[in-house]
Amino acid sequence: MVHVCLAQAGLPQDVAPWAQLGGIAVITWLLIWMITKAFPDLMERHEVKQAEARQHFETILNKIESNRMASAKEGHDAAKTLGSAMNDQCENLRENTLALEQINRTLQLRGSA
């Protein structure tokens, strides 16, 4: 096949073995370069990008967690405030109930007298 291509290109037949050897050498050099340089560089870049993506993801998770904790704290504070207000209202209601009972007793004593 190479002989036919070389003959069509106008090169002499005795160049064919050297052309094949040169082609094999180029392919071998390319394969060695890919194994020693290209693939490790690609892997290193991929690892760097993966580490950056992991760090970005962890930053987002930390932000979500801090927002969740802040929301939970606000909810607990609101519940405490509401509970305190309800306790105050219950205390006021008890005081008013006692006052009304005293007024009713006083009225009953006056009505029976």
pTM over 0.75: no
Contact 6, 15 (CB under 8 A): yes
Across residues 43-69, what is the average pLDDT?
A: 92
Contact 13, 6 (CB under 8 A): yes
Across residues 80-107, what is the average pLDDT?
A: 92
d(CA 64, CA 46): 27
Number of other CB atoms surrounding residue 16 within 10 Å: 16
In whole numbers, what is the pLDDT of the chain averaged over residues?
84
Contact 33, 50 (CB under 8 A): no
Kind plus residue range of the DSSP H or E element containing 21: helix 16-33
Residue 65 above 90 pLDDT? yes
Name the token pair of 38: 């290209």
d(CA 99, CA 75): 36
DSSP-assigned letters across all residues of 96-112: HHHHHHHHHHHHHHHHH
